[in-house]
Amino acid sequence: MAQEAPSTGGSSRTLTMARAGREAVIAEMRKDPNIFVIGEDVAKLGGVFGTTVGMAAEFGAERVIDTPISETGFIGIATGAAMAGMRPIVEIAFVDFIGVCFNQIFNFAAKTHYMSGGQFKVPLTMMIGYGGGYNDAAQHSQCLIGTLAHVPGIRIVTPADAYDAKGLMHTCLRDDNLTIWMVHKAIWGLGWLGTAIKTAMATVPEEEYAIPFGQARIWREGTDVTLVGYGITVHHSLQAAEKLAAEGISAEVLDLRTIVPMDRDAIMKSVAKTGRLVVADEDYMNCGVTAEVLATIAERNPKILKAPAVRVANPDIPVPFSRPMENFALPDADKIVAAAKATLKAS
């Protein structure tokens, strides 16, 4: 475990997302002694996803803390420490486990700044892995981003490549709120989950840089249809755009990058240009991120759509274990291609 694909050295380094995120954490920890990391298997093991490899050696057991399997307890503890001037980083390896400690997050950490009238700040960053595609079944494959995004007081970033992983981590760690940095397991760059999606590796500058919240990213420009995604669905959309291009259809790929706040202007601008929209999300469809994107257009100006928008998301079923059924539940390039064609046919 905690192994990742090798990345090339040198100044123009190609990094995995795991390495890039870790680089930001280490840089901030070197500058600020109030930052500490707490979670299961973060010290000795270096994180189930390699997010904290080497950190215990550099910062010691006081700042890189292995916990018991007591998520409610250590998130509560991190929240209290944050209220008292520390800047904790909490790792929850799989977002699914948030179920056991959600109260600490949504009833306290996310609301304390507000409920205290701004007297208490909670500068706490959570590092969380999400997503399926490797047959880990219903309790280890969820996204739950829509669930988290529903709660006021939390900022959620979902980088799709190593460059964004680093820049968004810096932003989270410098923010004075509860921030959640979430990476889809399949693009993290872990050996044991494969590195098939090469587009998630990126050239990452050695120096620090921060990517602001609420700025979407256009990965590919196009004129016929906008493909909106985040995390892994950006990569599915890029593949879909290639396939569509081969058939003479020009797709624009828009990466939301941060879910809360959401760059609604970027969505409007792109769809105003293309007139067609497909939103792809691995999360559950009902009341989720896909709905929020569509609501943006419905509220601001539905007339920019030349055809009904199409959502590609989990059809509201627990993620099944068996491969054919899981594949049915997951978004992929072909489903996005079919959705894009449907928008073109409808207009």
Partner 1 sequence: MKPTPKQRIWMYESMLKSRLFDDALFEAYWEGKKPVFHMGKGPLPGEMHQSFGQEPTAVGVCAHLGPDDAVGAGHRPHHVAIARGVNLKRMAAEVFGKKTGLSGGRGGHMHLYDNNVNFFCSGIIAEGMGPGAGIALARKMQKKPGIAVAYNGDGAVNQGAFHEVMNMAALWKLPFVCVIEDNNYAVSVTTKESTVVPAWKRAAGYDCPGEYVKGNDPDLIFEAAARAVQHAREGKGPSILEIETERLHGHFIGDSAGYRSKDEVAGQKDPIPVYRKRLLDEKALTAADMETLEANVKEEVDAALKFARDSEYPAPTEALDRVYA
Ligand X SMILES: Cc1ncc(C[n+]2csc(CCOP(=O)(O)OP(=O)(O)O)c2C)c(N)n1
Give DSSP secondary structure letters for 263-298.
Answer: -HHHHHHHHHHH--EEEEEEEESTTSHHHHHHHHHH
Pick between residue 20 and residue 190 the one whose CB is nearest to partner 1: 190
Least distance (Å) between residue 93 CB and ligand X: 6
Q: Which does 137 bind (CB under 5 to 8 A by kind): ligand X, partner 1, none?
A: partner 1
Q: Are 160 and 234 within 8 A, CB to CB?
A: yes
Q: Which does 45 bind (CB under 5 to 8 A by kind): ligand X, partner 1, none?
A: partner 1
| Those residues with Cβ within 8 angstroms of residue 169's Cβ, 6 or more apart along the chain or in another chain | 20, 21, 24, 25, 125, 181
Number of residues that bind ligand X (CB under 6 A): 5
Pick between residue 48 and residue 337 the one whose CB is nearest to ligand X: 48
Q: Are 21 and 169 within 8 A, CB to CB?
A: yes
* Cα torsion angle, 83, 89, 94, 95, sign: positive
Query: Cα separation of 326 and 231, whole Å?
Result: 18
Pick between residue 98 and residue 305 the one whose CB is nearest to partner 1: 98
Number of residues that bind partner 1 (CB under 8 A): 45
Q: Which residue type, as a one-letter code, is found at position 249? A: I
Query: Cα separation of 282 and 312, whole Å?
Result: 8
The answer to whether 40 contacts ligand X (rule: CB under 6 A) is yes
Q: Which does 322 bind (CB under 5 to 8 A by kind): partner 1, ligand X, none?
A: partner 1
Of 192, 242, 287, 302, the residue at the interface with partner 1 (CB under 8 A) is: 192
Instruction: Calculate Rg over the CA atoms of the chain.
Output: 20
The answer to whether 144 contacts partner 1 (rule: CB under 8 A) is no
Of 24, 326, 336, 339, the residue at the interface with partner 1 (CB under 8 A) is: 326
Q: Which does 344 bind (CB under 5 to 8 A by kind): ligand X, partner 1, none?
A: none
The CA distances from residue 326 to 230, 290, 320, in Å, are 20, 20, 5
Pick between residue 114 and residue 328 the one whose CB is nearest to partner 1: 328
Least distance (Å) between residue 190 CB and ligand X: 16
Q: Are 189 and 19 within 8 A, CB to CB?
A: yes
Residues 97-126 that bind ligand X (CB under 6 A): 97, 100
The answer to whether 289 contacts partner 1 (rule: CB under 8 A) is no
Residues 65-104 that bind partner 1 (CB under 8 A): 66-73, 96-97, 99-100
Pick between residue 39 and residue 331 the one whose CB is nearest to ligand X: 39
192: left (phi over 0), alpha (psi -120 to 50) or beta: alpha
Q: Are 218 and 252 within 8 A, CB to CB?
A: yes
Q: Are strands 258-260 and 154-157 parallel, antiparallel or unpaired?
A: antiparallel
Of 129, 133, 167, 331, the residue at the interface with partner 1 (CB under 8 A) is: 133
Pick between residue 71 and residue 224 the one whose CB is nearest to ligand X: 71
- Write out the H or E segment, with its range, that includes residue 253: strand 251-255
Pick between residue 74 and residue 230 the one whose CB is nearest to partner 1: 74
Residues 152-181 that bind partner 1 (CB under 8 A): none
Catalytic residue list contains 140: yes
How many CB atoms neighbour CB 127 within 10 A?
26
How many CB atoms neighbour CB 209 within 10 A?
12
Q: Select which of 140, 170, 184, 235 is catalytic.
A: 140
The answer to whether 91 contacts ligand X (rule: CB under 6 A) is no
| Those residues with Cβ within 8 angstroms of residue 305's Cβ, 6 or more apart along the chain or in another chain | 271, 275, 276, 277, 297
Residues 60-79 that bind ligand X (CB under 6 A): 69, 71
**Which residue ranges make up the site for ligand X (CB under 6 A)?**
40, 69, 71, 97, 100
**Enzyme catalytic residues:** 140
Which residue ranges make up the site for partner 1 (CB under 8 A)?
1, 40-41, 44-45, 48, 66-73, 96-97, 99-100, 133-140, 191-194, 196, 315-318, 320-329
